[in-house]
Chains A and B, each alone.
Chain A
Amino acid sequence: MFAFTVARRYLFSNPSQTALLIVGVALGVTAFVFITALIQGLALRLTDDVTANSAHVSLEPVTRVARVLPSPDADVESVAIVSTFQRRQIRAWAPTVDLLRSQPSVSAISPQISGSAFLVKGEAVAPVAVTAIDPAGLDAISPISTEIVSGDANLGADGILIGVRLAENLGLSAGQPVLFRTDRGVDRLLIVRGIFQTGLQSLDERVAYLSIETARPLFLLPEGVTNIEVKLVDPARARDVAAFLADATGLRATSWQEKNANLEGALVAQAQTGTLIQIFSLISVLIGIASALSLSANRRRGEIGIMRAFGVSKRFIGGVFVLQGLLIGVVGAGIGCISGYALCAWLATLSKPDGTMALPIAPAEGGYVTVFALTTLGAVLASVIPARSAAGLDPLEAIQQ
């Protein structure tokens, strides 16, 4: 393709100008990659922080409302009242667990009995949110066993795990007994097997874990569970998976995004800000390409005029400038992607004194394919204006100047 040869020679004819142009494009692409990796990294970190110790999808029974029962006597209406606790039960939970196990998007399942209780130690009383689980799946949703700072994670038949703040408030230590009183009015003495420290105040101060079998008589729930917590391979898909599970099971399925609507709103706003910055950096790159090629077209008016006089087609001349744009776009975007990745990878190695990353950057999430495609396409589009201007030159005017 001769137009490609001409385009390449034109670019090489002024190496310093071409190099500056490519550096400009590469810098724009690097900025794009950096912003994308930073925003994605921040979103991932926030998502991780939120979802690391909680489920991605929660399945619960659909809340039923009291309904008016028909009566043969038209003057009398009866309201059906069902035990509040009964309403929250998933009686046939095993088929639901089987269905969840068959889903490749699901990485962990935890059928649970959740409820409220009090821990009583002498005169000290503390309310706790109880999570009763299968001891084998203790870490399915929240990695508790790795956070044990005292005792162990072996629940047994009469064990309970509590957070470090709760233990401090009640003056409890591992191995000590504590009175457990449920909101159903059932008491039992349990042994504090382990004390965990997740760093999340809500967990460390308010949550207690025990075995689901231990919890059944305490919460008067001999068969069912109150909720099934699910972890996904890709937390970002939680909303879709929740919709599917709601349809498939008839249960109420809540994604972690729904539970954290404020966080999602913040992430969307952050992504929109990032998009604006990306658009402006791309626009500046494209304006640079368009102006540089326009200058080139103007500088080569004489040559273009001669080409037109010799009957070289407008398409050929336009093609030479579009191909220059394409070459600049491809090379600049390629270098920008590499330098952007290198910058992000270096920044990812920087850490604060506590060992956490200095910047929540995700080098792999730099949007490389997107920015490469957009820059290349944009460079071609930016070159259309100088290409049309060059192709439309009047040969006589151009030669005589």
Chain B
Amino acid sequence: MSQVNRLDGGLIDRSETYSFRFDSTYHKGHKGDTLASALLANGVRLMGRSFKYHRPRGPMTAGSEEPNAIVELREGARKEPNTRATTAELYDGLRAASQNRWPSLAFDAMEINDLLSNFFAAGFYYKTFMWPAAFWEKVYEPIIRRAAGLGSLSSQDDPDDYDKGFLHCDLLIIGGGPAGLAAALTAGESGARVILCDEDFLIGGRLNFETYDVGGQSGAAWAAETVARLQTMPNVRVMPRTTVIGAFDHGIYGAVERVSDHLPVPQEGKPRQILWRITSTRAILCAGATERPIVFENNDRPGIMQASAIRAYANRWAVTPAQQVAIFTNNDDGHRTASDLVSKGVEVVSVIDTRQDALISTDYDVIAGGVIDQTWGRLGLKQIEVKMPKGGIRRIKCGALGVSGGWNPNVHLTCHQRGRPVWDEALSAFVPGGALPPGMTVAGAANGVFSTHGALNSGAETAKAALSDLGMTSKAPTLPDAEDTPVRITPFWHVKSAKRAWVDQQNDVTAKDIKLAHQENFRSVEHLKRYTTLGMATDQGKTSNVAGLAIMAEVAGKAIPEVGTTMFRPPYAPTAMGVFAGRAWGKDVRPTRLTPSHKWAEEQGAVFTESGLWLRAQWYPKAGETHWRESCDREVLQTRKSVGVCDVTSLGKIDVQGADAATFLNLVYCNGMAKIPVGKVRYGLMLREDGFVMDDGTAARLAEDHFVVTTTTANAVGVYRHMEFVRQCLCPDMDVQLISTTEAWAQFAVAGPNSRALLRKIVDPGVDLSNDAFPFMACAEVTICGGLRARLFRISFSGELAYEIAVPTRYGDALIRRLMTAGEEFDVVPYGLEALNVMRIEKGHVTANELNGTTTALNLGMGRMVSKTKDSIGSVLSERPGMNEEDALKLVGLKPVDLSNNVPAGAHLLTKGAKVTATNDQGYVTSACYSPNLGHHIALGFLKSGDSRIGEVIRLVSPLTGVDHEVEVVSAHFLDPEGERLRA
């Protein structure tokens, strides 16, 4: 039994036969098939199960609006849950599985929900599962969660690549049906830069689904010819398999091109999909229309479909869902399906038209004024029951039923900037209205122009108007003749006697649910949606929203537009999340910044750590060291004993130049900066305007009009931005220029008693490094290694005699190697962030842990630095009373009473003996380490009135990590409080 329902003709390529598997059964199809068309060809109507009642379902549509035929496509790491069989292109070897069923699609144990459906009415879960209280999480919810969802993820990393790209054009045309093709032709011939996107793999829209002549040839042939012509135009980019997913601000459209989804796996080097950000001056939406259902009893059986979908399967894919087909319609368009099927040799058993004045045909039987009031066939339609116009019923055997309730323009993208569609009484449909995204116009069926002739002309005219807006002239191309049938429809939304009649098929929202929502006062359209879940399924309400509104309107005795309008949000169709990430995931989710000594440090076997986006050496293990602390302690001790080198390039560096540079810095820093002598460095504290500390660093005056300031690694970008704000926005007339030079200079700290001796071997002769000539806080531009320009600062974070030396970044690698070679005689060590941190805590220097955005100069013990004799950012608001309370937090040192204890960061500080409650909370530990020099753990922290509590023993608790012991409050300067070492 192969392709029993395959017909003649169609746009498939019969020369290529593909084998594929659905669940455990193998089938054959052809190139050009979708999974749904191929399954239908093989006589398979049952393709899925609904969400709530697990009702058996087959495809309802032939496009991206499909609610029912959704499957798990592919296997292994490439498994894609919830894939619409109606848009999945067939390829050889395709594997798909049905979902949301157990144990099998034909026999699903959860179908019991359908029998119990009376208990599962809209919103039932809000009214129950509340007793006993503890049962919700333990019993009820786990059961509900087990039933949740449709398809399942692979639980493996997605192996495919995704890309992103930018495109620009004058005119973006969304949809390549008759309107879109006519618009593209018009704009293309005018020379405008045009992009034409269509979600289908075969461009042409309904031209490929219909049998009309267009200019003496088939619509499909005209479409193919036109596409070919457009592809020859250098100014036109034709993008099939590309869905425009969103209309964003200022003419930016998001579009997803499915580059490889029609292949078993992407070709080597090709992405699976590309997210295009298209910037377009004008856009024309030519997205066509979607046929809507009529709601009647058991209208969800496999085989019951949009009439237009049955026609599409027959004409494009040469497939019929069954050999006997009935039609249920309220408009003339339904009859087209009947005629097309008849001409394809499919038996049309009856056309049930709700209108008394239905079209009459000699080709098929018409029941004018009839309605369907029941259907049979558990796993696929077998029979329908028609309520005859003059009373009585008639039962008709058929395997498929085409339903045509009229057409809804695809207005979705017109709503993306919150424009709301308006009701068109003549069409009985919502058409684009309100505020469209600026630059967007709508043509063809999307604008309610349903005939082919109308769509072609509408496309051309709309393109002309858009181009003339841009000052470009164009003329409409010679358009082919095409059918121009008027819309004839008598609205008919649902069969009122129906009890179980589906509106939202995937989410199992029935007409009864809508009536119940009304009864319970969930009457606004948003309440209706949320209470019943109408339109919340993966088809995004494309086939259900308007029908739901119509039923609510009827129940409420209102007109449809009075009940509300539909609203659509991006994305237009469900979109693989991977494409939004592009290549920015895994290691590449954010850039990685490497220091100039990185390569060298790698050679040394350094362990690296993230510091913002930077990777910095954390410690340099030596052979035999098994624990990081061994390495860190050694680096600290050796630096303090002799000399150590650390790459500090990641600290922000900002060059400040100009006649007003000193005045400018005086405004930016809270302490005085104007009077720094040339050749000197000063510590600077920078406040935010709200008076809290923003950052700290040093300012080195290299010349009267030239400073180099440093920032912390974490704040380098923010401080530069802030300084530019002050410069451009607050003092626009100052003569001062800023440039970030963080990446321009490689900078190393050379610290320890032998640092001077080491530097003497590097720095060119003639530079006097003696303590008198180059004292603590001196700076100079020097040359090193025989003429290389460098900057030398005598500053110390470690508390030792220390320097920082900067060279142009490209010499950074050479300099670290030279320093290490030259330092051999001193047993120089490289030290990493851990050792750097230990030494600064021993010295009581603050870093990001203390400058956490909630601390003030007062908290840091630097209150007096905030000058009151000049204007500086933050000085006024730093005086607010709440920031200057008597018992304000003060930076202190902490050491354990029992020296074997540690003093972990994040622990809280309480008065000795106080109960562990928030009211007794007196402060917290910010930075902690083991001090190899002192032989025990030490820490910095903030303590209420801490500066006056030196010597007090307090309680340190970290209930989170199980720590509770006593610590002594000490000075934050554990080592060399007088600063003799750094002045040596």
Partners in one complex: no
B interface residues, Cβ below 8 angstroms from A? none
A interface residues, Cβ below 8 angstroms from B? none
